[in-house]
Amino acid sequence: MSDQTSIFHLHLVSDSTGETVDGVARACVAQFPDVQAHEHVWPLIRTDAQLARVLADIERHPGIVLYTVFNSEIRRKLEEGCRRIQVPHSHVLDTTITMMAGYLGQQSRGRIGALHKMDEDYFNRIEAIDYALSHDDGQATWDLEDADVVIVGVSRTSKTPTSVYLANRGIKTANIPFVPGCPVPPELDQLKKPLVIGLIKDVDQLVSIRKNRLRQIERGEGGDYVDPVAVRAEVFQARRYFTERNWKIINVTRRSIEETAAMIMAILNDRREENE
């Protein structure tokens, strides 16, 4: 691949939903900021006819092939096809599974869709997602005690996507906006079980994001909502409010949603270990 090439074809093949290979691929591509992947996503590939369509597309658009295929026959044919077309290919879980098998002294079972079986964890995730959606942006505050995490933050600190991300990992999360001059729900000061997290952001970035948001929804100038002096006072007030209650504070200025969620999960795990 030449240095001038900025786009390459990336084929993601799975005999299940494809979520695993997609996640690994995105994490890897993110390490190469000067390139862009043109993704060809192929989930639920379980028959020869389906595989033939995949290989035909790979031949039309040669590139990198990443896969999570546990059916031995389909995997063999996919790998043979990739060798024939002469494209690089890799099973993204092979190294990790081999390492675990050696450490545990057991052979993996190669179960298709094992990650997505409808077990207790699956239903916990569904329950957490339902909870996050029904407790978004200050809704349904009467049962906040049922949450694992309550996020409080000024506008445009990614409270909702962070809550949904955590919910997808089975963490029941509510989020509440911090708005100057508007009281937060009194239930917040009575919480015993949930971890409460305060989110803040750099003033300049906050003003920029809010202005972009107003342009998108065609809402005019915005007043104090985008005034740097007012926003600085808002962030200061929020930080002081969070500090007075001894809540953990996360500055999300240069953090992705995933990084913010990872920090919250680490704090939650530490808290749970302390309480054991």
pLDDT at 191: 94
Amino acid present at 133: L
pLDDT grade for 244, boundaries at 50, 70 and 90: very high
Q: Is 158 flagged in the annotation as binding?
A: yes
Mean pLDDT of 257-264: 91
Q: Is 223 flagged in the annotation as binding?
A: no
Is the predicted pLDDT of residue 270 greater than 70, yes or no?
A: yes
Rounded Cα gap, residues 23 and 68, in angstroms = 11
Q: pLDDT tens digits for 63-111?
A: 999 999 988 899 999 999 999 999 999 998 887 767 777 777 876 665 5
Greater pLDDT, 220 or 154: 154
Q: How many CB atoms lie within 10 A of CB 78?
A: 25
**Sequence-ordered list of residues with C-beta below 8 angstroms from that of 87, at least 6 positions apart, any chain:** 58, 62, 63, 64, 65
Q: pLDDT tens digits for 2-23?
A: 445 589 999 999 988 788 888 8
Q: Is 164 flagged in the annotation as binding?
A: no
Q: pLDDT tens digits for 24-71?
A: 888 888 888 888 899 998 988 999 999 999 999 999 999 999 999 988
Q: Is 243 flagged in the annotation as binding?
A: no
Q: Is 260 flagged in the annotation as binding?
A: no
The first and second tokens of residue 160, run together, are 């909702």
Q: Is 157 flagged in the annotation as binding?
A: yes
Mean pLDDT of 170-184: 93
Q: Please report which helix (H) or strand (E) contains residue 195, including its range.
A: strand 195-200
**All domains in the chain, ordered by first residue:** 7-114 (3.40.50), 120-275 (3.40.50.300)
Could you give phi then psi for residue 11, rounded to 5 degrees? -100, 125
Among residues of the chain, what percentage have pLDDT more than 90? 58
Q: Is 153 flagged in the annotation as binding?
A: yes
pLDDT at 167: 92
Q: Is 156 flagged in the annotation as binding?
A: yes
